[in-house]
Amino acid sequence: NIATFYGYGGSAGFGKLYLHEWSGKGFDLLLSKEDMENTAEFKDLDNDGNEEIVYNFRRTKWGEKQQEIYYWNGNKMELHENRVF
């Protein structure tokens, strides 16, 4: 079981993404991200039946748009690809 929290607010445009997994006793943190103008979505990009996390963001307010793609490697969320637009 997985729980996510995504919050976006404030005039600075920071968003927070937290991804947790239920361990049977509590939630373990798998991934935490906080960046400017960010969005996150779950998509099965490689048609393997598992959804990857597509995370779009800027490091600074007027910085380049970036995208990170995370996938589950069986033990943890792992960065698979990082693009700069």
Q: Give 29-65 pLDDT, tens digit per residue.
A: 888 988 888 889 999 999 989 899 999 999 888 889 9
Per the structure block, which two tokens stand in for 36?
Answer: 């400017």
DSSP strand E in the chain: where? 2-9, 14-22, 27-43, 52-58, 65-72, 77-84
Q: Is pLDDT at 3 greater than 70 in this prediction?
A: no
Residue 32 CB neighbours (<10 A):
12
* Residue from 68, 3, 56, 58 nearest 30 by CA: 3
Structural contact between residues 16 and 5, judged by C-beta atoms closer than 8 angstroms: yes
pLDDT at 7 over 80: no
User: Percentage of residues in the chain with pLDDT exceeding 90?
Assistant: 36
